[in-house]
Amino acid sequence: MKKLIAAAVAAAVIAPAMAIASGPTLYGQIHTSVDNKDNNGSSSAGNKYDEWSLNSNSSRIGVKGSEDLGNGMKVGYLIEWGVDMDGDGSSLTERNRAITLSGDWGTALAGKWDTPYKSVGRKLDLFGDRIGDTRNLNVGAMDARANNVIAYVTPNMNGFSSTIAYVISHPGGPDGATDDSDAWSFNAIYNNGPMLLALGYSDYSEGITGGTENQKNLKIGGSYKFGDFKVLASYADISDVSGVNGDDTDIWSLGASYTMGNNVIKFQYADRDETSSANDDGADMWVIGLDHKMSKRTTVYAAYASTDNDTGSTSTSWGGGHDSEGRGLGIGDEKANAFSVGIIHKF
């Protein structure tokens, strides 16, 4: 009886202590695909790229956890690495990683993190990390995972939330700049029931853009579900691309998906206007795909995408979030086409 009482007392003491800490939890995603990528280049001109390849697309592994500090406060952490599943790149690369402090007032974050502007774009793309990703039409400094970020995230208020982030210094910016730079970004998102509405903004200093001006990006968009049918749209206004005064453009996209049991049919179209008539660097892209959910954590898919370049554009249908091994550039006045079969498993 004494042993039973002692065990009960020990359990009463230990259980609350165990409830205070959460983690560490291991998680990840494996995303591989077999692709054929063709830029319709010329062998005689030396710019032909037509290859089959096995790709690892934003595969990742991470650890996260938290601890209750009492009085409604909690400290949390997340450390994530990109993992090269096909063996032809770096074994581990840096992805999001931060320490957080949260309470009823919201969450403060410090580390390496996706900008709030980038987070908006990832919510408005049916083909993220696959061929046809809308980031294939990006120009200059846009969707960044920035170093030295401090951020504040509001509490969720009936579906509304907002994030504001400041990049204290970002050596080696999105376009490869090497001098110290700063940036700031914010978003506002309403996600409630079938409706999602989002706005994102970012401002990158000339140290990041590599030019003489700040590049400013504004994106608005949303999605709506009608039962098994979903539609989405986005519009981005970009000023002073790569820090060049007066090089302005816009990118818009439309997409739709229809769910039939474990299958999802998807289509998406995106268009980028030229930054100037002299550059003639506009492009448009369309992609169609079929997802089959084998389980809650495993999806297989097939997709076909095509990007049509103006004379001064070198965009492709592969790039954003996709394996860069052997990646060829698009060719002016040509179409860059891609076919992909892939599998995604989350754990």
Per-residue pLDDT of the chain (347 residues; tens, 9 = 90+): 334 334 433 343 333 343 455 679 999 999 999 999 999 998 888 888 899 999 999 999 999 999 999 999 999 999 999 999 988 877 799 999 999 999 999 999 999 999 999 999 999 999 999 999 999 999 999 999 999 999 999 999 999 999 999 999 765 554 444 555 899 999 999 999 999 999 999 999 988 888 899 999 999 999 999 999 999 999 999 999 999 999 999 999 999 999 999 999 999 999 999 999 899 999 999 999 999 999 999 999 999 999 999 999 999 999 888 876 656 789 999 999 999 999 999 99
- Residue 87 has a pLDDT of 84
- Matching residue, tokens 């970004």: 185
The alpha-helical segments, DSSP class H, found in 22-140 are 116-123
Is 7 a domain residue? no
Is 9 a domain residue? no
Q: How far is CA 5 from CA 8, 10, 11, 14, 17, in A?
A: 5, 9, 10, 14, 19
Is 4 a domain residue? no
Residue 77 makes CB contacts below 8 A (sequence gap 6+) with 64, 65, 66, 98, 99, 100
First and final CA of the chain: distance in angstroms?
44
Is 269 a domain residue? yes
The alpha-helical segments, DSSP class H, found in 21-100 are none
What CATH number is given to the structural domain containing 42? 2.40.160.10
Asked if 339 contacts 317 with a C-beta cutoff of 8 angstroms, the reply is no
- Residue 327 has a pLDDT of 62
- Residue 148 has a pLDDT of 93
- Residue 9 has a pLDDT of 35
Is 6 a domain residue? no
The Cα 111–Cα 149 span in angstroms is 5
- Work out how many domains the chain is built from and give that number: 1
Q: Give Cα 263 distance to the centre of its chain.
A: 23
Q: Which value, to the nearest 10 degrees, does the dihedral of the CA atoms of residues 205, 270, 279, 175 take?
A: 30
DSSP string over 87-101: SSS-SEEEEEEEEEE
Is 18 a domain residue? no
Asked if 309 contacts 330 with a C-beta cutoff of 8 angstroms, the reply is yes
- Residue 175 has a pLDDT of 45
- Residue 21 has a pLDDT of 57
**Cis status, amide bond into 24, omega within 30 of 0:** yes
Is 5 a domain residue? no
Pairing of strands 263-272, 73-83: unpaired
DSSP β-bridge partners for residue 55: 33
53: tokens are 């390849």
- Residue 169 has a pLDDT of 76
Residue 169 makes CB contacts below 8 A (sequence gap 6+) with 147, 148, 180, 181, 182
Q: How far is CA 255 from CA 43, 133, 213, 313, in A?
A: 35, 11, 33, 23
Q: How far is CA 44 from CA 49, 175, 254, in A?
A: 12, 30, 37
Is 245 a domain residue? yes
- Residue 176 has a pLDDT of 47
Q: Is the dihedral of CA 66, 67, 72, 73 positive or negative?
A: negative
- Residue 26 has a pLDDT of 97
The Cα 261–Cα 246 span in angstroms is 49
The alpha-helical segments, DSSP class H, found in 21-160 are 116-123
- Residue 107 has a pLDDT of 98
- The residue range of the domain holding 183 is 23-346
- Residue 19 has a pLDDT of 41
Asked if 320 contacts 327 with a C-beta cutoff of 8 angstroms, the reply is no
- Residue 18 has a pLDDT of 37
- Matching residue, tokens 């401090």: 150
71: tokens are 């009085």
Residue 173 makes CB contacts below 8 A (sequence gap 6+) with 141, 144, 181, 204, 207, 208, 209, 210
- Residue 286 has a pLDDT of 98
